[in-house]
Structure 1
Amino acid sequence: MSINQAHYEGGLLLYQGEQIVNHSKNVTLTFDNVNQECGEIFRGKHKGKVFVTTHRMIFLSNDQRDNLLSFAVAFMYMKNLHVEQPLLGANYISGIVAAHPNG
């Protein structure tokens, strides 16, 4: 998991050999059960775009004044993923993200 490391001047930074598999616009990112030590960066709703690459999932914020400009997580640090498609609501993905060791 990395915060504010996957963007540059409003664009997306990819690793060498990494390819975009899918992307979605108009995405809302929220965090539940955030520890106090994580600070204010995770609080509230963040609107932007999500990119799924061959290595990770990356969120880019639409608001350049937001404290969370980008959020990236490698697939190996995700667990308990659930894809929900309710009849009368928006589709969403939920799960648990762990920090990199010593991160």
Structure 2
Amino acid sequence: MAVNQGWDAARFQPLLAPGEGICRTCHDVEVEVSGDSIMGTKSGNHKGSACLTTQRFVVGVKNPRGPVQSISMPFYCLQGIEVKQPIFGANYLTGYMRSDTNGGWNGRCQFKMYFNSGGAIEFAMDFMRLLRAVPPNPPPYEHVVAHAVPVAQPVAQPAQPYPSAPPAEYQDESKGGTQPAASAYYQPSNPHTMYVPAQQATAPPADPDAPPSYYDATKKQQ
């Protein structure tokens, strides 16, 4: 058994090792841990959700401020697993477990996992099937460590400067310029920016086929 390992408390889900998969999840469970070798904050009752995987079962504790956030039990650490169906009270799974390598404690203890909302029989059937498939000398289970995911920072976009006014040589010819103000030019500091002056409104050309105006018609009659 390992304490506070192989569990993502932020997402409230197990951290799976390579090749590991989830077989069954059961909510509203309560794990009671007792024994002389597991005294202190790790003993007692812990409420949360249980996940049965292909290599272990892990209980995530719904108490973000408690000292125990999760209890992970690889199959090779378990012995004497039984299902109890009392006349009064919820069905529960019981057995013994020993400490795992670097599991946060040393020794052997007893556990009882109560299924307050049902599901004990189905959970136990899958559990027994997986236990029978455990090899005699399995390799130690490597708990996955949760790493903080860096938050992407927004990239500051460079400010696009407004195009400056055209230089003096592009001003109106009446002021000594060498090019009419209506011409466009590219800004030397930013060749991708083109300065286009506003077009001045001009009178449309006279239509030779248009009828004479009232002034011209009356003037000819006089």
TM-score by length of 1: 0.87
Please give the alpha-carbon distance, in whole angstroms, between the structure 2 residues aligned to 1:44 and 1:97. Answer: 15
Task: Give the 5 Å matches for 1:34-45.
Answer: 34-35=36-37, 38-45=38-45
Render the CA deviation track for 1:3-35: whole Å, top value 9, x for unaligned: 101222233211111111111111111112232
2:15 alignment partner in structure 1 = 13
Please give the alpha-carbon distance, in whole angstroms, between the structure 1 residues aligned to 2:60 and 2:102. Answer: 24
Distance 1:102 1:16, change over 3 A: closer
Which runs of 5 or more structure 2 residues have no equivalent in the other structure? 104-222
Which one has a larger percent helix, Structure 1 or Structure 2? 2
Please give the alpha-carbon distance, in whole angstroms, between the structure 2 residues aligned to 1:62 and 1:83. Answer: 24
Structure 1 residue 51 displacement after superposition: 0.5
TM-score by length of 2: 0.43
Aligned CA-pair RMSD: 1.6
Whichever residue aligns with residue 22 of structure 2, its letter is I
Residues 34 and 42, structure 1, Cα contact 8 Å, conserved in 2: no
Identity across aligned pairs (percent)? Answer: 29
2:66 alignment partner in structure 1 = 66
1:97 alignment partner in structure 2 = 97
Higher relative contact order (CA 8 A, sep 6+): 1
Residues 31 and 47, structure 2, Cα contact 8 Å, conserved in 1: yes
2:31 alignment partner in structure 1 = 29
Which runs of 5 or more structure 1 residues have no equivalent in the other structure? none
Whichever residue aligns with residue 11 of structure 1, its letter is Q
Which one has a larger percent strand, Structure 1 or Structure 2? 1
Render the CA deviation track for 1:41-100: whole Å, top value 9, x for unaligned: 223211000111000010100111111101101111100111112232101011000112
How many equivalent residue pairs? 101
Residues 34 and 44, structure 2, Cα contact 8 Å, conserved in 1: no
Please give the alpha-carbon distance, in whole angstroms, between the structure 1 residues aligned to 2:13 and 2:102. Answer: 27
Residues 83 and 91, structure 2, Cα contact 8 Å, conserved in 1: yes
Please give the alpha-carbon distance, in whole angstroms, between the structure 2 residues aligned to 1:46 and 1:63. Answer: 8
SS of equivalent residue, structure 1 residue 31:
strand
Whichever residue aligns with residue 23 of structure 1, its letter is T
Distance 1:64 1:102, change over 3 A: closer
